[in-house]
Chain A
Amino acid sequence: MASSFTRMMSGRNTAVVLASIGASTLASGYLMTDSGVTAQERMKMYPPSADFPDLRKHNNCMAAALTPGIYGRLRDKMTPNNWTLDQCIQTGVDNPGHPFIKTVGMVAGDEESYEVFAELFDPVIKDRHNGYDPRTMKHPTDLDASKITNGTFDDRYVLSSRVRTGRSIRGLSLPPACSRSERREVERVTVMALAGLKGDLAGRYYSLSSMTEQEQQRLIDEHFLFDKPVSPLLTSAGMARDWPDARGIWHNNEKTFLIWVNEEDHTRVISMEKGGNMKRVFERFCKGLKEVERLIQERGWEFMWNERLGYILTCPSNLGTGLRAGVHVRLPNLSKDSRFSKILDNLRLQKRGTGGVDTAATGDTFDISNLDRLGKSEVELVQLVVDGVNYLIECEKRLERGQDIKVPAPLVQFRR
């Protein structure tokens, strides 16, 4: 009613001033600006070529894929939510990237972004996910943790195990685009579902805007608390708007299952433990996710998911499983071996410092996790990490004993 009328009339391409009279009626009229230029004329004055971003010094997936042709065809399109291409790519325009790290350079504002702007998203997805073609391929989803084998690591090497992913609530815009009311709805839906968790999953929600100082300090000490994003990759995409409104942290009483609400995605779901029992971490992960899904479905909600792209998240890099399974592992000898990087590459693993992405490793302890997200299922990826970390520990032990190690053959990318 009011909203569909507004949807028809509002947007960059119209010259309508909407004024609300009373609670629900809307009046409209065409308005000429003082200089006599309507929005229609403005659009003709600025063809897509006038707005095409200068990406000559840029090194991100978006800049590599965007052509004037694509921009010209997509600039004036909008998702049903009125989200535009310019809004998707703003973060990539504002952040040229690093000469060594290739960032993605674009985000989705809603589920439909991946469809409406497919002409740009698809090549970016292909670039980022090793040739995965959303037009022709299907992404497998598998949350059956019982399939994992050899999922317990030697505690003398593996200090902690963790699996994280994200989930988006279908029907609500994503963090770059959501209004305050939508973000609050995400919080409401999620917190209500989490309140239904029982047993080892029972826990509590801490809203960022109303937590006490003590609660805040404890959450910091336990490394649970997330901060307002400072990375320009995120702030340029509008994800820090209205902070800390409707943001919060939920965790179970045992502190092994943790959910971030409205940070970089609607929800980030984390299962973790000290030590090397990755299988149990993944079991809890799957159980928790399925429970939360059931609880939101009871109320008529569901997660954003489709066959092409798997779970839909804000950043294209997190499509598919959105899963990062990793360990903190000590590898004093292997990390000094010149073959370390190649071994990781071939095992489809990546290393990070124990402070997270973009930190350097301190001492000999590394954060080792899966590189891939899309094209392989959750079970496949966790098994890959399990097998890979077991291999790394084997190498470490061999080097300790003065034995030589072998670089493994590279793993196959994904089923076609």
Chain B
Amino acid sequence: MPFGNTHNNFKLNFKPEEEFPELSKHNNHMAKVLTKDMYAKLRDRQTPTGFTLDDVIQTGVDNPGHPFIMTVGCVAGDEESYEVFKELLDPIISDRHSGYKPTDKHKTDLNFENLKGGDDLDPNYVFSSRVRTGRSIKGYALPPHNSRGERRAVERLSVEALNSLDGEFKGKYYPLKSMTDAEQEQLIADHFLFDKPVSPLLTCAGMARDWPDARGIWHNDNKTFLVWVNEEDHLRVISMQKGGNMKEVFKRFCTGLQKIEAIFKKHGTSFMWNEHLGYVLTCPSNLGTGLRGGVHVKLEKLSQHPKFEEILKRLRLQKRGTGGVDTASVGGVFDISNADRLGSSEVDQVQCVVDGVKLMVEMEKKLEKGEAIDSMIPAQK
């Protein structure tokens, strides 16, 4: 059932400008794009599952944003949201994804053999490697909007598919609402467990409703392949291991994803995907590949260098603290990952990470020896 008020017909007795949100102190993509005219045009529309414009933008209205970080400020409630509210979402997608046009086509490439190198990142600097993405199951509403019945169906389908995996992918599902204390402690120790969202960016979008119903974590016995069910997307798929062998991580990532997709297809379902937006996920920022490939890497000297940010920008990478988004780095160790999601393929994006991190580790070593790195600074990719 829709979250919030948006099937409220009393509001249609008021003019669009009386309903238009107060966005003057806001700094997010939605606030920059939404005009009174656009609001008037779109406010009476609904997707087939009943998602409305007000549903799409509620999180952006409730969270004015940060003066330095530009959040997206809207979410999709189902696959059709991206079509029905095109007038709003296309410019937001363009803003967020470096000018991606409504006519552009997105390339999907999950062929790990196309990745060059990536198996030789220095483990003295690169402590762990990880690739994650999301997947949505076609025909089901997304986390901001799904009913309990739909969410449970997504869980059932996903767990059925995951439990039929074998070999290095053989594993087990731990539903959040029935895991034992011991299981919970182990999952926390392994850094696998996800919490009920507290970020208002997510709670205002209705994603924490009915917690922990139909949420859970699946991982393989080797603890190198992990799937989150019904957190911020239907599925979040994560491949990871200690050390710098990103090639192996990516291979497992691609193989696992393809196996899962094949099983879904056999059962008559598939992932939400189209040739314009690639994989369709809840937040417009995750469209395309939905991929974040990254490493935890020690860059103590390089991170103090005045050109650090510029280097990252040119390499199309972003930094985060090792606690994840919005954390600071500890001890000079950073989480470095690809900045792009839409308009380049999975292979392209992981290649950026592999090449970029390799270069930065070389720079770090040079700086340790007291040498200059100016000649190594790359051109904009």
Contact = CB atoms under 8 A, between A and B. Distances in A.
A180 B18 CA distance: 8
B259 interface: no
Interface size grouping (class) on chain A: 35 or more
B304 interface: no
Nearest to B15: A181
B8 A11 contact: no
Contact of A46 (B11, B80, B150): B150
Given A39-B49, A80-B9, A241-B4, 10 more contacts: A3-B13, A11-B7, A20-B44, A51-B1, A94-B209, A173-B10, A181-B18, A182-B10, A236-B209, A242-B21
B199 interface: no
B117 interface: no
Nearest to B19: A181
Given A12-B50, A16-B46, A245-B22, A181 B213 contact: no
B5 A173 contact: yes
Contacts of B12: 2-3, 6
Provide the main secondary structure of the chain A interface.
loop
Interface stretch (A28-36, A361-369, A398-406): A28-36
A137 interface: no
Interface stretch (B54-62, B181-189, B357-365): B54-62
Nearest to B9: A7
Interface in A231-271: 235-236, 238, 240-243, 245
B41 interface: yes
B139 A37 contact: yes
Contact of B2 (A12, A45, A93, A182): A12
Interface in B1-33: 1-15, 18-22
A7 to B, nearest CB: 5
Contacts of B47: 17
Interface string B40-75: 110111111110001000100110000000000000
Interface in A14-52: 15-20, 26, 31-35, 37-39, 42, 45-46, 50-52
Interface of A: 2-3, 6-7, 10-12, 15-20, 26, 31-35, 37-39, 42, 45-46, 50-54, 78, 80-84, 86-87, 90, 93-94, 109, 172-173, 176-182, 184-185, 209, 235-236, 238, 240-243, 245
A209 B5 contact: no
A240 B62 CA distance: 8
B7 A12 contact: yes
A179 B43 CA distance: 12
B96 interface: no
Contacts of A178: 5, 8
B71 to A, nearest CB: 16
Most chain B Cβ neighbours within 10 Å, of A82, A93, A243: A82
A179 B5 contact: yes
B342 interface: no
Given A34-B79, A37-B139, A19 B8 contact: no
A180 B53 CA distance: 13
Contact of A176 (B5, B78, B150): B5
Given A35-B139, A241-B61, A243-B62, A18 B11 contact: no
Most chain A Cβ neighbours within 10 Å, of B3, B4, B12, B78: B12
B211 interface: yes
Contacts of B148: 50-53
Interface of B: 1-15, 18-22, 40-41, 43-50, 54, 58, 61-62, 78-80, 84, 138-139, 147-150, 152-153, 177, 203-204, 208-211, 213
A235 B19 CA distance: 21
Contacts of A243: 62
Contacts of B13: 3
B149 A46 contact: yes
Nearest to B64: A243
Nearest to A86: B1
Contacts of A17: 45-48, 84
A367 B244 CA distance: 61
Nearest to A27: B44
B359 to A, nearest CB: 43
A209 B208 CA distance: 27
Contacts of B1: 12, 51, 84, 86-87
Contacts of A82: 7-9
B331 to A, nearest CB: 33
B58 A241 contact: yes
Contacts of A241: 4-5, 58, 61-62, 204
Nearest to A3: B12
A51 B147 contact: yes
Contacts of A240: 62
Nearest to B22: A245
Contacts of B45: 17-20
A20 B14 contact: no
A395 to B, nearest CB: 45
Contacts of A38: 48
Given A20-B41, A20-B43, A179-B8, A242 B62 contact: yes
Given A12-B7, A42-B49, A240-B62, A179 B19 contact: yes
Contacts of B4: 238, 241
Nearest to B147: A51
Contact of B18 (A10, A173, A184): A184
Contacts of B147: 46, 50-51, 86
A10 B9 contact: yes
A91 B44 CA distance: 27
Contacts of B149: 45-46, 50-51
B286 to A, nearest CB: 20
